[in-house]
Amino acid sequence: MNREKSQALYAAALQYIPGGVNSPVRAFKGVGGNPLFFKGGDGAYLVDVDDNRYIDYVGAWGPLILGHRHERVISALQAQLGKGIGYGASTEAEVEIAKKICSMVHSIEQVRLVTSGTEATMSAIRLARGYTGRDKIVKFEGCYHGHVDGLLVKAGSGALTLGEPDSSGVPQAYSELTHVLPYNDKEAVEDYFETHGNETACVIIEPIAGNMNFVPPVPDYLDLLREKCTESGALLIFDEVMTGFRVAPGGVQQITGVVPDLTTLGKVIGGGLPIGAFGGKRQIMEKIAPNGAVYQAGTLAGSPLAVAAGLAMLETISEPNFYKDLHAKAKALMDGLKERARAAGVPFTTNQVGGMFGCFFSTEEKITKFEQVMACNAEHFQTFFHAMLENGVYLAPSAYEAGFVSAAHGDEEIAKTLDAAENAFAAIN
Ligand SMILES: *Cc1c(COP(=O)(O)O)cnc(C)c1O
């Protein structure tokens, strides 16, 4: 595969952009080699600057649940462009998208838009602290909640890929207020709450972890968190920036029936444009400025372009059978991958919920713990990643990221991916 133009652009990027990338997850540090540069997307496909086409399972890291350049999203954007880019004041579409989000995610009675997932979690935590009058927060090892100072402690995603789960530059005074618990360990939750429950402002969790590969919660785990938070007066925050509208129209909370106090959203709700949101019970959300004393603001918050794209997206995914089809495609892909791994004699397993999935080069049947993810065969993943790339399939360049199937992935793309995988598994042995 010719990669000349990508290589040249990467060399130039290294000179002017730190590490050549504007987000570390785009670097190829976890797999070796250099990142590709892209010039276009079309449905399930990405096209790089050397005109190579790839079936895309990154989907801009989650937002592109309809694939690239979906016609409804594009025409909503074009219509808005004809009316202006932004006004720094309220619009009708903001009311519409807020109403739509509240109708889809049942725990949300009021919602505020921000411009990234990071801002959403940062604001939700400030709100939880303001509301409870407490400082301590709880997060889980391997969960990523954006690059908020106090949340870059044992973090997942790029921080984990680069081996820097505890970022430098975070004052110790901040990280001391963050207590980290192991994911899916009920005893650790019980122990923590026994001693610190009454000092805790909130527990923030990815209710299905998508930043240490893809790890769903064990049965009753989220219920336990709910119970302990209620008992101790701490708020439960579900960070559904990634899982929201991905695993089900109402997120993980719809699947499990566990109702958080606050929810953070991002990715899908902007249709691919920069956006984030946090919302929850009215009684809590009313503590935010201008009604309450918790300050939070944004120059570009509720950007008419992002809102137009997001609304078109949310309306399209609300259509009947959308999630049934998405789930069926992701399942066919996972079943096919496992079958081909078995045939090749490569230890391999998967997790999948709705349109999200995780691949593990592991002998263990069920992956539920951070340690199991870390124990997977990194060399096998690297070989697999590069072989898939050579065969026209673009996966996230890290063993610690979830994969995404979009509505644009059809039977043909799944079949082509499985053919590529057959070669890639063979390359391992
Ligand atoms: C991506 C992500 C974030 C951060 O969102 P940005 O828009 O990148 O700031 C926060 N939480 C989760 C669970 C995410 O996957």
CB 243 less than 6 A from any atom of ligand 1: no
Q: Which domains are delineated in the chain?
A: 4-69+320-428 (3.90.1150.10), 71-317 (3.40.640.10)
- Which pLDDT score, from 0 to 100, does residue 12 have? 98
CB 214 within 8 A of CB 208: yes
CB 145 less than 6 A from any atom of ligand 1: yes
Q: Would you state the structure tokens that stand for residue 101, as one six-digit string?
A: 């989000």
CB 181 less than 6 A from any atom of ligand 1: no
Average of pLDDT values for 146-172? 89
Average of pLDDT values for 384-411? 97
- Which pLDDT score, from 0 to 100, does residue 166 have? 87
> What is the whole-number distance in angstroms between the Cα of residue 407 and the centre of ligand 1?
22
Average of pLDDT values for 41-50? 98
* Of 207, 210, 153, residue with least CA distance to 355: 210
What's the pLDDT tens digit per position in 122-150?
999 999 999 999 999 999 999 999 999 99
pLDDT-derived band at 157, boundaries 50, 70, 90: confident
* Of 52, 53, 56, 46, residue with least CA distance to 404: 56
Average of pLDDT values for 385-395? 98
> What is the whole-number distance in angstroms between the Cα of residue 60 and the centre of ligand 1?
12
Which DSSP letter does residue 238 get? E
Among protein residues, the one whose CA lies closest to atom 11 of ligand 1: 145
Q: Would you state the structure tokens that stand for residue 169, as one six-digit string?
A: 């530059």
What's the pLDDT tens digit per position in 297-321?
999 999 999 999 999 999 999 999 9
Is residue 265's pLDDT more than 90? Answer: yes
> What is the whole-number distance in angstroms between the Cα of residue 341 and the centre of ligand 1?
31
Write down the pTM of the prediction: 0.97
Average of pLDDT values for 189-205? 98
Average of pLDDT values for 193-205? 97
Gap between the Cα atoms of 288 and 286, Å rounded: 5
Q: Would you state the structure tokens that stand for residue 369, as one six-digit string?
A: 């713990």
- Which pLDDT score, from 0 to 100, does residue 156 have? 87
Instruction: For ligand 1, pick from 115, 148, 262, 267 the residue to mutate: most ligand atoms within 8 Å of CB.
Output: 267
pLDDT-derived band at 365, boundaries 50, 70, 90: confident
- Which pLDDT score, from 0 to 100, does residue 63 have? 97
Instruction: For ligand 1, pick from 151, 211, 262 the residue to mutate: most ligand atoms within 8 Å of CB.
Output: 211
What's the pLDDT tens digit per position in 111-122?
999 999 999 999
Mean pLDDT of the chain: 96
CB 115 less than 6 A from any atom of ligand 1: no
CB 262 within 8 A of CB 235: yes
Is residue 161's pLDDT more than 90? Answer: no
CB 183 less than 6 A from any atom of ligand 1: no
Q: Where are the alpha helices (DSSP H) in 245-377?
A: 251-256, 282-285, 304-317, 322-344, 370-374
Query: How would you classify residue 358: left for phi > 0, otherwise alpha for psi between -120 and 50, otherwise beta?
Result: beta
